[in-house]
Amino acid sequence: MTAPIETTGAAAEAQPEAVLKGVEARRIEGRSLGQIAWLRFRRDKVAVAGAIVVILLIAVAALSRPIQALLGLDPNSPNQSLIDPNTTLPKGDLGGMSGDHPLGVDPKFGRDLLARILEGSWVSLIVAFGATLLSVAIGTVLGVVAGFYRGRVDAFISRMMDVFLAFPLLLFAIAISASLQGGAFGMEGLPLHISVLIFVIGFFNWPYMGRIVRAQTLSLREREFVDAARGMGARGPFILFRELLPNLVGPIIVYSTLLIPSNILFEAALSFLGVGIQPPQASWGGMLNQAVKYYEVDPQYMIVPGLAIFVTVLAFNLLGDGLRDALDPRSR
């Protein structure tokens, strides 16, 4: 039997360095909730692709006028020389597609479709984002108040949500938009049409956000951190704005992203029915309306604006699904 080897104090203290010799030392850092959500989102390739498309769409919409100027395009400039006077259809195949007009021109007027798609993009996104902000603001405030105070306040706000959800929104939107076409509130033309659409779509869609925020608030108000805030003497407004709202940011962002494509479709539907954005201002829904007479002869006029709406709505839906999975992994 061999005797155990005794080590001196200095050797014992040096032993951990000897064990770690040749191994790269790294400092272990904790990750925040935002970093964890970003890692989850980054792994979802479909959601990342949707985010890239959304960023490109927003950039194109914001720079639509400079892009048109750079390409020498005008969405309202007629080109009667490109139109067959007998059929009022563009000369050539596929809606008159050419090097000067990559997506062709529209019937009767010969206006460039690419320029009108670019012009309609910022209109659709402004209406969708503005209506979403209005819905989120109203729905968040009323939802968190109803979920936190409960009782009669919750009952009143919940019944108000039921009334708004039962309202014939499309008919009411048509009536309001049609009655305000001439001018109102010191505005007229395109600013009036955009403001009316934002108000109609945003004001009557807030109950969807309100119900989601109310349900989340009912769950959060029973958590330990809320009880701790109450125990320290915090009042209702402090708990609402300092404790509950920060924990509602994730669900609000997710459902806002999912609400934007619905608002894009709603704006397109109103413009298609002739009570949204009025010509000659380009809009995707208005372009679909003008294509109804000609799509059987040449579906190009229906495909171009329809594809623009489809890609935009799909990209926002993919982004919203990815954000939901990243911010709330239990939803998988």
Q: What is the rounded distance in angstroms from the CA atom of residue 9 to the CA atom of residue 39?
A: 45
pLDDT of residue 136: 94
pLDDT of residue 118: 92
pLDDT at residue 11 is higher than 50: no
Instruction: State mean pLDDT over 247-254.
Output: 86
- Contact yes or no for 113/103 (Cβ under 8 A): yes
User: Of the ranges 15-29, 144-158, 250-264, which one carries the lowest mean pLDDT score?
Assistant: 15-29
Question: What percent of the chain shows pLDDT beyond 90?
Answer: 27
Reading the block at residue 234, the tokens are 């915090």
pLDDT 10s digits, 144-174: 999 888 889 999 999 999 988 888 878 877 7
User: Of the ranges 23-27, 74-78, 193-197, 320-324, which one carries the lowest mean pLDDT score?
Assistant: 23-27
pLDDT 10s digits, 100-159: 788 888 888 888 889 999 999 999 999 999 999 999 999 999 999 998 888 899 999 999
- More confident site: 12 or 322: 322
pLDDT of residue 329: 57
Q: How confident is the model at residue 77 (pLDDT cuts 50, 70, 90)?
A: confident
313 Cβ contact list (under 8 Å, min separation 6): 261, 264, 265
Residue at token pair 């000897």: 18
pLDDT at residue 5 is higher than 70: no
Q: What is the rounded distance in angstroms from the CA atom of residue 136 to the CA atom of residue 201?
A: 12
What is the residue-averaged pLDDT of the chain?
82
Q: What is the 3-state secondary structure (H, E, C) of the chain?
A: CCCCCCCCHHHHHHHHHHHCCCCCCCCCCCCCHHHHHHHHHHHCHHHHHHHHHHHHHHHHHHCHHHHHHHHCCCCCCCCHHHECCCCCCECCCCCCCCCCCCCCECCCCCCEHHHHHHHHHHHHHHHHHHHHHHHHHHHHHHHHHHHHHCHHHHHHHHHHHHHHHHCCHHHHHHHHHHHCCCCECCECCHHHHHHHHHHHHHHCCHHHHHHHHHHHHHHHCCCHHHHHHHHCCCCHHHHHHHHHHHHHHHHHHHHHHHHHHHHHHHHHHHHHCCCCCCCCCCCHHHHHHHHCCCCCCCCHHHHHHHHHHHHHHHHHHHHHHHHHHHHCHHHC
- Please state whether the peptide bond connecting residue 168 to the residue before it is cis, i.e. omega within 30 degrees of 0: no
On whether the 33-81+88-327 domain is CATH 1.10.3720.10, my answer is: yes
- More confident site: 325 or 198: 198
Q: How confident is the model at residue 23 (pLDDT cuts 50, 70, 90)?
A: very low
Reading the block at residue 107, the tokens are 């019937």
pLDDT 10s digits, 266-321: 999 988 888 888 888 889 998 898 888 887 777 888 888 999 999 999 999 999 88
pLDDT of residue 134: 95
Indicate the pTM of the whole model.
0.82
pLDDT of residue 12: 47
- More confident site: 82 or 161: 161
Q: How confident is the model at residue 27 (pLDDT cuts 50, 70, 90)?
A: low
**Bridge partners of residue 90, in order along the sequence:** 83
Q: How confident is the model at residue 29 (pLDDT cuts 50, 70, 90)?
A: low
Instruction: State mean pLDDT over 80-92.
Output: 81
Reading the block at residue 155, the tokens are 């009952």
The domain segmentation of the chain, as residue ranges, is 33-81+88-327
- More confident site: 233 or 125: 125
Question: What percent of the chain shows pLDDT beyond 70?
Answer: 86
pLDDT 10s digits, 60-71: 999 998 998 888
pLDDT at residue 242 is higher than 90: no
